[in-house]
Structure 1
Amino acid sequence: MSKARRNSPTASLSTRFNAASWRPNHQRKHEPVSSPILTPGATTLRQLETIYWQDLPARINPACKPAVDRAEEIILKAAAGDQPVYGVNTGFGKLASVKIAAEDRVKLQRNLILSHACGVGPTTPPRVVRLMMILKMLSLSRGASGVRWGLIKLIEGMLEKGVTPVIPAQGSVGASGDLAPLAHMTCVMIGEGEAEYEGAVMNGGDALRKAGLEPLVLQVKEGVACINGTQFSTAYALAGLFEAWRHAEASLVASSLSTDAIMGSTAPTRAEIHELRGHRGQIETAAAIRQLMEGSEIRESHLENDSRVQDPYCIRCQPQVTGACIDLLRQAGHTLEIEANAVTDNPLILDEDSIVSGGNFHAEPVAFAADQIAIAIAEIGAISQRRIALMVDPALNFELPTFLTPRPGLNSGYMIAEVTTAALMSENKHLANPCSTDSTPTSANQEDHVSMAAHGARRLERMNHNLAHILAVEFLCATQGIEFRKPLKTSPQLQKVVARIRIDIPTLEDDRHIAKDLKDVAELIQSRRLIRESGLEPFIHLGEA
């Protein structure tokens, strides 16, 4: 056998956002940059997904400026009066009853940011930070927050020039807004904290000045407007959703390969079955599998020679399980699209006579959406793991070699790769337990019910990392199984997938160190190169389509 060419090592999914190596598109030489113009209240999930994957900056529709200016005027007028306005001439949280003297009200905003920048733990991935900044711009530009247009333009400039705040990922309970993470973002805007610029981490003020930007002196209401809000949790949840969607798409290809590898029946994918039930995701999943397996010689052989009446559920019920996961991801996407356009700070300027304290900063909708995404990720991985177990088991895999090695005993083949997927599957099941049902009182019991949305959203990165590696093992096992069916061939579409995998990963004949194989295929899945370079068109859509 001629050995397939192998690529140089690639970064694992857990380190792909490393701040030292990451660059936004506009800082990469010879790459054209397109800055989407976003309209607050009407920004779509598809736009945010494109921005996330392409590392694009974004601008706010200038038609929003009059509403922003009007809200600023109302706040300035209120600040000059004697009536208490939360966060403008009063303290914060439990200190809301403390009146702040007029000469201290600008200092109040700065103190708020510095005191609330209490994050700890690992650094938030830059792409998530930039998405968070875009979401904050969308919220402030609705004209209900009372900030200056210049503050919004500073965030826009930071995105355009690639000044990315360094934000510790831990410290939010997702209730009075994502206070600590957003405070770290705002610190950079006032020349404090840390930011990454041109590959180096430096003082926030230095980063702004090197990029040709000037730090702000926060005016009344601007500090509290910046840190009240759900943008940190929502950005993490959106990132988890976008990555989970790629994995859902890849799982349809992997499961089609696995079905052919074990010579499974495609009768359960007949359109009439799924139309009788009516769920969109189920109907689309069955259609995708039929399309991907069309023209398979292996399938035709199964129809002629197989005495099995029914396949196990992990083959037969793919449309029902994966389809339900797709529907769940879409439901979460609908919630997050609304939240991305929402005004979530406090208090809000409703009209000339109404500056009202409310609770839009409470991230319960985001927490629920994150829990839904987590359940979908766990289930996509669970059914994939069962297909892997099916393929390596000689009692169930319809005459494939034990553990998919041509010489079992001397070689262990994919024996322990299957065990690894069992470990990852179990970890994801644990992580899928809801975060939204947890709560703890904070801020001297003023904030006595919290959403834990940040916890729920952050764990999605780890779960997606696990899922990518489960699917990587399924692709490797299914590809190996397909090759054992020669001279019968899989479908023309799936042959392209097998060929793309074999560019990087040789057939497993004698045992070898295969950890790198798993990592390389996981990267092909996460980057969507496996789908794209196999010539497959998108067959499911998260957003409008």
Structure 2
Amino acid sequence: MSTGIIALDGETLNRKQVQTIVNGQAKVEISEANWSKVCASRERIEKQINDGKIVYGVNTGFGKLSDIEIGKEDISKLQLNLLRADAVGVGEPLPTSVVRSMMVLRANALAKGFSGIRKETLQLLVSMINKGVHPVVPSKGSVGASGDLAPLAHVAVVLVGEGKAEYQGEVLPGGEALKRAELTPVSLEAKEGLALINGTQAMTGVGVLALNEAERVGLAADMSACLTMEALQGIISAFESELLAVRPHPEMEFVGSRIRRWLEGSKRITRQGEIRVQDPYSIRCIPQVHGASWQAFNYANDRLSVEINSATDNPIVLESGEIISGGHFHGQPIALAMDFLKVGAAELANISERRIERLVNPQLSGLSPFLALDPGLECGLMVLQYAAASLVSENKVLAHPASVDSIPTSANQEDHVSMGTIGSRQAREIVHNSARVIAIEMICASQAIYLEQAENQLAPATRDFLEKVRKICPPLETDRAISEEMEEIAQFLLKNDLLEK
């Protein structure tokens, strides 16, 4: 349910606000100051047309067809043809959350006043967000340059009453969805079709949601590591601030300080030499490995923060009155950021799986084999490690950088593309897989703590979190199917802000 209004000004929107709007907890509006910018930009387009100037995408064809001039009488038809021709996405539809994210980001970019769109067209997009008219957008078909043409075209065709849209849980023809929401389709004029689809909002829309989830998963990874340390009586000495300070990566120290804070008061952790001199890398090197993943997160966050508030279409209508063709639609900044996030998120799962192995392998843990109460008759959590290994291996395939590939389009006019939308979709899938691996680690650590009867020896912070895990997946008294519980914990980690940085 909506609880507020967020103004789209093209300057100040952040990923947390996007999530709030996506979740339906806020509506959007455009300020009077920004409407003035939008209208002024539109007037510049109309002046160029009235002055008989040739402007790409306004009175010319598109891509390789840009040398073909279009007569005044066909300018509106040109824009409608563009949407119809570009709505060629394939595959399963994107989730409604992603479609809402795309719509919000596109409206925010148009609100900057560099795109030449009319007020009534932008207002319809805003109203669709607020009333919950969600275009059906196939997930595949964008190469991430010339903008996310196919996915954004599937959004834009609904504004003219075509395509398909979901409204109140029902998929309808676009015009019918607008009608039920008491909205009226628009007839596009010069530049508007191009303004609606020439941008990076599909890759950025997916990227914003993936980044929000990656932040939660990163914190969950730090917490699951704490639970494993308590289960295995890990050595806290490797996390001391004086030690970490001699290699001054900030993210490494942030992880170390978090783990020290969360383990404060624990009677299960040890110091160097009390039980053993060293822990294995998957425990001893948590600050270094998790910290590096946080570096990837921070880089992606910096790039997305810029992109959220950028004008990414072409041509750009400058305040000087000039209309210049450039390359702001090219997704390379986001493509590289998403590829980096992919690797960072995958590594959280990679090292987590190694800690899972240490928990279930009796030769490494000293605990009951596979954490079973009656090993042999029972398999315990043996096959949870198989599931984690499968997810980690899948992540390794998905982590191959999408951005190193490029297939030219539009008869080689568009001869380098980013594949950034593929990278964003892969990043979100990796984040979801990593959440599942971390959920498995939490279940294994919970079972180990149960077998050790160590609940009363845990730190207050880890004990509180363990209670949340056990509400979903209680300790095993005998073998039982826990697939659904594993997935429920993973979704719990992805969707809730459970931990403070």
TM above 0.5: yes
1:76-95 aligned at under 5 Å gives the runs 76-95=46-65
Q: Does 1:477 align with 2:444?
A: yes
What is the SS of the residue equivalent to 2:38?
helix
Shift of 1:295: 0.8
Aligned to 2:333: 365
What is the SS of the residue equivalent to 1:226?
helix
Aligned to 2:302: 334
Aligned to 1:256: 226
Amino acid at match of 2:403: S
Q: Is the 8 A contact 1:52 1:239 kept in 2?
A: no
Aligned to 1:462: 429
Report Cα offsets for 1:304-334 as digits up to 9, x if no partner: 9843110001100111111111121011011
Give distance in 2, aligned partners of 1:46 and 1:62: 24
Aligned to 1:409: 376
Choose which of 207, 210, 223 in structure 1 pairs with 2:193. Answer: 223
TM-score normalised according to structure 1 size? 0.89
Q: Is the 8 A contact 1:74 1:352 kept in 2?
A: no
Q: Does 1:166 align with 2:141?
A: no
Shift of 1:82: 2.6
Aligned to 1:46: 16
Aligned to 2:356: 388
Report Cα offsets for 1:405-454 as digits up to 9, x if no partner: 12211111111100110110011011111001100011111111000001
Amino acid at match of 1:150: E
Give distance in 2, aligned partners of 1:144 and 1:500: 48
Shift of 1:48: 2.7
- Which stretch has the larger CA shift, 42-51 or 401-410? 42-51
Aligned to 1:431: 398
Give 5+ residue unaligned stretches, structure 2: none
- Which stretch has the larger CA shift, 505-514 or 186-195? 505-514
Give distance in 1, aligned partners of 2:272 and 2:245: 27
Amino acid at match of 1:135: L
Give 5+ residue unaligned stretches, structure 1: 1-24, 27-32, 532-536, 541-545
Choose which of 414, 436, 445 in structure 1 pairs with 2:412. Answer: 445
Aligned to 1:70: 40
Shift of 1:524: 2.1
What is the SS of the residue equivalent to 1:154?
helix
- Cα–Cα, structure 1 residues 353 and 476, in superposed 2: closer, same or farther, change >3 Å? closer
Q: Is the 8 A contact 1:281 1:327 kept in 2?
A: yes
Shift of 1:528: 2.2
Q: Does 1:37 align with 2:25?
A: no
Aligned to 1:518: 486
1:107-118 aligned at under 5 Å gives the runs 107-118=77-88
Give distance in 2, aligned partners of 1:252 and 1:261: 14
Give distance in 2, aligned partners of 1:144 and 1:499: 52
Give distance in 2, aligned partners of 1:372 and 1:303: 35
Give distance in 2, aligned partners of 1:35 and 1:353: 32
Amino acid at match of 1:465: H
Q: Does 1:60 align with 2:27?
A: no
Give distance in 2, aligned partners of 1:486 and 1:412: 20
- Cα–Cα, structure 1 residues 424 and 407, in superposed 2: closer, same or farther, change >3 Å? same
Q: Does 1:196 align with 2:166?
A: yes
1:338-349 aligned at under 5 Å gives the runs 338-349=306-317
Give distance in 2, aligned partners of 1:75 and 1:521: 52
- Cα–Cα, structure 1 residues 72 and 486, in superposed 2: closer, same or farther, change >3 Å? same
Report Cα offsets for 1:199-238 as digits up to 9, x if no partner: 1010111111111111010110101111101011110111
Report Cα offsets for 1:111-154 as digits up to 9, x if no partner: 11111111111101111111111111111111111111222211
Aligned to 2:276: 308
Q: Is the 8 A contact 2:22 2:101 kept in 1?
A: yes
Give distance in 1, aligned partners of 2:379 and 2:320: 74
Give distance in 1, aligned partners of 2:261 and 2:321: 60
Q: Does 1:233 align with 2:203?
A: yes
Give distance in 1, aligned partners of 2:179 and 2:46: 29
Provide the aligned C-alpha RMSD in A. 1.6
Shift of 1:197: 0.5
Q: Is the 8 A contact 1:40 1:60 kept in 2?
A: no
Give distance in 1, aligned partners of 2:315 and 2:68: 16
What is the SS of the residue equivalent to 2:408?
coil
What is the SS of the residue equivalent to 1:58?
strand
TM-score normalised according to structure 2 size? 0.97
Amino acid at match of 2:4: S
Shift of 1:352: 4.6
Shift of 1:503: 2.2
Shift of 1:83: 2.5
Q: Is the 8 A contact 1:332 1:373 kept in 2?
A: yes
Aligned to 2:113: 143
Give distance in 2, aligned partners of 1:187 and 1:231: 16
Give distance in 1, aligned partners of 2:355 and 2:113: 52
Q: Is the 8 A contact 2:339 2:427 kept in 1?
A: no
Report Cα offsets for 1:462-481 as digits up to 9, x if no partner: 21221121011100000111
Give distance in 2, aligned partners of 1:58 and 1:485: 52
- Which stretch has the larger CA shift, 53-62 or 193-202? 53-62
Give distance in 2, aligned partners of 1:311 and 1:89: 68
Choose which of 152, 157, 179 in structure 2 pairs with 1:187. Answer: 157
Report Cα offsets for 1:360-414 as digits up to 9, x if no partner: 00000010111011011100000111100111111211x2111111221111111
Give distance in 1, aligned partners of 2:273 and 2:61: 78
Shift of 1:54: 5.3
What is the SS of the residue equivalent to 1:177?
coil
- Which stretch has the larger CA shift, 447-456 or 478-487? 478-487
1:122-133 aligned at under 5 Å gives the runs 122-133=92-103
Give distance in 1, aligned partners of 2:484 and 2:15: 34
Amino acid at match of 2:6: P
Give distance in 1, aligned partners of 2:368 and 2:45: 73
What is the SS of the residue equivalent to 2:317?
strand
Shift of 1:527: 2.4
Report Cα offsets for 1:508-530 as digits up to 9, x if no partner: 1221112122122222212227x
What is the SS of the residue equivalent to 1:121?
strand
